[in-house]
């Protein structure tokens, strides 16, 4: 029981620290928390925002590639964990699209090594109990602060509104399948024995805008259970 209470206390402190560290767009926070994980976080005060995309480059001025387009750009607090950067010294910036085609870029920056969090919280994050990536632990009679939505790195909505599938690039061949559900868990459809590593699904397959859930299986075992958001533009 003491161990469980400690882990819950650690998680709450960790989340609060993340939220407090977030800067307001076009500024953003960028932390290297170790184990090839770069955390990008921001607060949003724009009322007319249409799109937020995270971009990464080896150079501070050129060669930027979009690594994620946020499903819901209007979320007040949001962020993303980048686990696929070639190294921890790459540059990041945020593309912000407003109404009437107005857009801007944040300043480019490199991740800062988060040594304070490591010293203050010695337990490793990846040693905490594993849970549904959408859910957060709950303490009796205590409501944890909401965490900004962090999209899946495998199944997410593309900038053109399509659902993009990017499967792990493993050397050993593996069998993947995906089940899609309504937000209330009603089953929609399943894609079995996926042959392509990177492809997209037309949004019309989901019939309406809003939140959808999915279950990604690798060799018959659940690899990830998460959700994504489709914009209301069709």
46's CB contacts (< 8 A; 6+ apart) are: 25, 96, 98
221's CB contacts (< 8 A; 6+ apart) are: none
Is 74 found in the same domain as 10? yes
C-beta separation of 46 from 25 below 8 A = yes
Asked if the structure places residue 133 within a domain, the reply is no
Asked if the structure places residue 194 within a domain, the reply is yes
Question: Which residue has better confidence, 78 or 114?
Answer: 78
Average pLDDT on 63-90 reads: 88
Asked if the structure places residue 80 within a domain, the reply is yes
Give me the torsion for CA of 48, 51, 52, 56, rounded to 10°.
-140
Is 106 found in the same domain as 35? yes
Asked if the structure places residue 111 within a domain, the reply is yes
Asked if the structure places residue 137 within a domain, the reply is no
Is 120 found in the same domain as 8? yes
Q: In the predicted model, is pLDDT for residue 134 greater than 50?
A: no
What span, in angstroms and rounded, lies between the C-alpha atoms of 88 and 106? 19
Asked if the structure places residue 20 within a domain, the reply is yes
pLDDT, tens digit (0-9, with 9 covering 90-100), for 171-200: 788 899 999 999 999 999 999 989 888 888
Is 222 found in the same domain as 161? yes
Number of domains in the chain: 2
Is 101 found in the same domain as 61? yes
Q: In the predicted model, is pLDDT for residue 4 greater than 90?
A: no
User: What's the confidence (pLDDT) of residue 148?
Assistant: 57
The CATH number of the domain holding residue 185 is 2.60.40
Is 164 found in the same domain as 121? no
Is 196 found in the same domain as 111? no
Average pLDDT on 115-122 reads: 49
Among the listed residues 138, 22, 29, the one whose alpha carbon sits nearest the alpha carbon of residue 76: 22
Is 19 found in the same domain as 97? yes
The three-state DSSP-derived secondary structure of the chain is CHHHHHHHHHHHHHHHHHHHHCEECCCCEEEECCCCCEEEEEECCCCCEEEEEEEEECCCCCCCEEEEECCCCCCCEEEEEECCCCCCCCEEEEEEEEHHHCEEECCCECCEECHHHHHHCCCCHHHCCCCCCCCCCCECCECCCCCCCCCCCCEEECCCCCEEEECCCCCCCCCEEEEEEECCCCEEEEECCCCCCEEEECHHHHCCCEEEEEEEEECCEEEEEEEEEECCCC
Is 195 found in the same domain as 88? no
Range of the domain at 81: 2-127
The CATH number of the domain holding residue 98 is 2.60.40.10
Asked if the structure places residue 134 within a domain, the reply is no
Is 69 found in the same domain as 7? yes
pLDDT, tens digit (0-9, with 9 covering 90-100), for 21-37: 567 899 999 999 888 88
User: What's the confidence (pLDDT) of residue 120?
Assistant: 42
Asked if the structure places residue 149 within a domain, the reply is no
Q: Which pTM does this prediction carry? A: 0.46
Is 111 found in the same domain as 33? yes
Is 168 found in the same domain as 53? no
């Amino acid at each position: 029981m003491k161990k469980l209470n400690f882990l819950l206390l650690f998680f709450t402190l960790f989340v609060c620290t993340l939220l407090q560290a977030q800067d307001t767009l076009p500024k953003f926070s960028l932390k290297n928390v170790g184990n090839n994980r770069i955390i990008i976080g921001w607060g949003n005060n724009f009322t007319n925002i249409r799109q937020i995309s995270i971009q990464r480059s080896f150079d501070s001025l050129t060669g930027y590639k979009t690594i994620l387009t946020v499903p819901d750009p209007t979320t007040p607090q949001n962020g993303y964990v980048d686990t696929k950067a070639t190294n921890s010294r790459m540059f990041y910036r945020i593309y912000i699209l407003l109404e009437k085609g107005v857009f801007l870029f944040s300043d480019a920056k490199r991740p800062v090594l988060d040594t304070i969090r490591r010293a203050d919280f010695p337990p490793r994050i990846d040693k905490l109990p594993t849970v549904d990536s959408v859910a957060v632990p709950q303490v009796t009679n205590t409501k944890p602060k909401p965490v900004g939505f962090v999209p899946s790195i495998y199944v997410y909505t593309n900038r053109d509104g399509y659902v993009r599938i990017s499967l792990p690039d493993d050397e050993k061949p593996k069998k993947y399948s995906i089940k899609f559900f309504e937000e209330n868990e009603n089953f929609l459809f399943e894609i079995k024995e996926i042959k392509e590593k990177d492809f997209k699904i037309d949004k019309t397959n989901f019939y309406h805008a809003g939140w959808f859930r999915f279950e990604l299986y690798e060799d018959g075992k659940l690899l990830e259970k998460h959700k994504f958001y489709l914009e209301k533009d069709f």
